[in-house]
A and B are shown apart, each in its own frame.
Chain A
Amino acid sequence: MDNGSSNYRRFLSGDKNALVDIIRDYKDGLILYLNHFVQDIHIAEDLAEDTFVKLAVKKPKDKQKSSFKTWIYTIGRNIAIDYLRKKKRHPEIDLDAVAELSSEEEDLELSYVKKEEKIILHRVMLRLKAEYRQILWLIYFEELSCKEASMIMKKTVHGVENLVYRARLKLKEELEKEGFSYEGL
């Protein structure tokens, strides 16, 4: 799927359509990933737009150390963190007050996640704290390796593995509370 690097090179050569292709390929996953930071799908959408704008105007060099997806998610994450710093709030999810998903978010979820069981998993993930949600999203939904996730989250691979372990335990606990079980956990 990762035509990102070649599209980006096309864009750097002056092909504006290449940026449209990049947006098409990475928009949904990036919005859902950034939503784990800001807990607002519209803000996450704006941040995703800002990620593509930054990609276009700053034209950072893709050093090919990782996949294009890892690289663009890293840029997105930095933008989200800047946003949260400006707003001076780090959303820590309240386990007792899980927000209802908006219809737009449900649509995006359906279009991107697709599998029913993963959709249930994703909704339960919203009860976890932000860090667990982010790592579980990257590992189980974006299917990135621990190494790639560690690059995005700026952690060590060992740190990511520990984080994934603890996030899985917590997610399993939450699923059991709802009467679900998931084989992948």
Chain B
Amino acid sequence: MKDYKEMADSVFEKIEIYKRKRQKTRKTILKISTGLSSVFILVIAAFLIRNYHNLSLNNESVEMKAVSEARDMVTDLKEETLEMAEGTMQELSKEEDKREWVSPLEEMQEKTEVIPERIGEGEDESDTLKEIKSNEKKSDKKSSAFLPELADSTEETEDEIIVNQLEEFNERQEDRVAGEVILNEKDRVSLNKKELLSNYSTNVFPSVPFDLILQKDSKFSIYKKNNGKGEVYSDLNIISYSNRDYSRTISIEVQSKTIPLSCFKLYQAKNQRSKIKGVEMIIAKNKRQYLIEFMYKNTGFLISTEGLTEKEVIDMVKSLIY
């Protein structure tokens, strides 16, 4: 047995061992905690950086998201329309095979049936077609007298497309077509899309690139004498299409019997004429814009485009001629 001094020495020795162990343990814990703290700080830093990055991306992506959504919508519409068009083309080709000859009017009737929204969602289609038919008959008599060089023709001829290069469009006042029509607001008759179509002897709404849409606030009207009850004396209308940022636009000015008065005298200039589907027209361009003027089925068209390629312009014009 130990006496109390020996036991005290033993106790102090054990205390020293305990202290050394505790110091070692503390160092180990310190190392571990330092390591863990570093890892924790790194994780937090990574988290913050990621969040910051996401935030900045989110801010930037608000517009990008809208653009991408619009693109998706356009893509979907394009696919659906292509499918519809393919189906329609197949049906038409089958029917064409069956028939030897189809008059242009009947052909238009078929097209309007296929694309009901062009003439008012399928409502009163027969009436609309009747009106178009009567207009066509009338125009047949008068069109040659108005612009004999632009007689209607849909003969299967090869297209001749000549794009006149212009440094800038002729905006000289003296070159404007002479004559003005005074419009009386009391004579104004508002038209919807269907009514507008029935007013002209041909379709005035072309097929346009899929990113372009008809402007929502488009308003159509004609002017009739005697407070809107008499004879039509002006049916000039402007049909505008654009994409979302207005970087690509189409403006179609359309008027019965004559090329719209607001146009410039491209016909009187010494510009070479193009022929699409047998319809004579003048196509001019500068850096961004195309200007096309032509008469078709006694309806005058002045089309100006911006941001469109030549192919898109020609395809759009072709869609108006059937």
B14 within 8 A of A: yes
A56 within 8 A of B: yes
CB proximity to B under 8 Å, residues A31-55: 31, 41, 45, 48-50, 52-53
B35 to A: closest C-beta gap in Å: 28
Taking a contact as CB atoms under 8 Å apart, the answer to whether B19 and A57 are in contact is: yes
Given the complex, which residues of B lie within 8 Å of A24, measured CB to CB? 4, 8
- Which secondary structure characterizes the binding site on chain B? helix
How many residues from A make CB contacts under 8 Å with B?
19
Taking a contact as CB atoms under 8 Å apart, the answer to whether A52 and B4 are in contact is: no
Binary contact track A5-30/B, C-beta < 8 Å → 1, others 0: 00000000000100110011001000
Taking a contact as CB atoms under 8 Å apart, the answer to whether A49 and B1 are in contact is: no
B213 within 8 A of A: no
Taking a contact as CB atoms under 8 Å apart, the answer to whether A27 and B4 are in contact is: yes
Given the complex, which residues of A lie within 8 Å of B10, measured CB to CB? 49
Taking a contact as CB atoms under 8 Å apart, the answer to whether B1 and A19 are in contact is: no
Taking a contact as CB atoms under 8 Å apart, the answer to whether A49 and B12 are in contact is: no
A163 to B: closest C-beta gap in Å: 29
Whole-angstrom distance between the alpha carbons of A19 and B13 in the complex? 13
* Nearest B-chain residue to A111, judged by Cβ: B1
CB proximity to A under 8 Å, residues B1-28: 1-2, 4-5, 7-8, 10-12, 14-15, 18-19, 22
Taking a contact as CB atoms under 8 Å apart, the answer to whether B15 and A48 are in contact is: no
Interface centre among B4, B8, B11 (most CB of A within 10 A): B11
Taking a contact as CB atoms under 8 Å apart, the answer to whether B7 and A27 are in contact is: yes
Given the complex, which residues of A lie within 8 Å of B1, measured CB to CB? 31, 41, 45, 104, 107-108
A176 to B: closest C-beta gap in Å: 32
Whole-angstrom distance between the alpha carbons of A48 and B7 in the complex? 9
A41 to B: closest C-beta gap in Å: 7
Residue in B5, B7, B19, B22 whose beta carbon sits within 8 Å of that of A49 in the complex? B7
Whole-angstrom distance between the alpha carbons of A179 and B51 in the complex? 90
Taking a contact as CB atoms under 8 Å apart, the answer to whether A23 and B8 are in contact is: yes
In the complex, the 3 A-B pairs of residues with the closest C-beta atoms, listed nearest first:
A24-B4, A20-B8, A104-B1
Which residues of B are in contact with A by a Cβ distance under 8 Å?
1-2, 4-5, 7-8, 10-12, 14-15, 18-19, 22
- A sample of 9 more A-B contacts (CB under 8 A), given A31-B1, A52-B7, A53-B18, is A20-B4, A27-B7, A41-B1, A45-B7, A48-B7, A49-B7, A50-B14, A57-B18, A104-B1
Which residues of A are in contact with B by a Cβ distance under 8 Å?
16, 19-20, 23-24, 27, 31, 41, 45, 48-50, 52-53, 56-57, 104, 107-108
The 20 sampled A-B contact pairs (Cβ below 8 Å) are: A19-B8, A20-B4, A20-B5, A20-B8, A23-B11, A24-B4, A41-B1, A45-B1, A45-B2, A49-B7, A49-B10, A49-B14, A50-B14, A53-B11, A53-B14, A53-B18, A56-B11, A56-B15, A57-B18, A57-B22
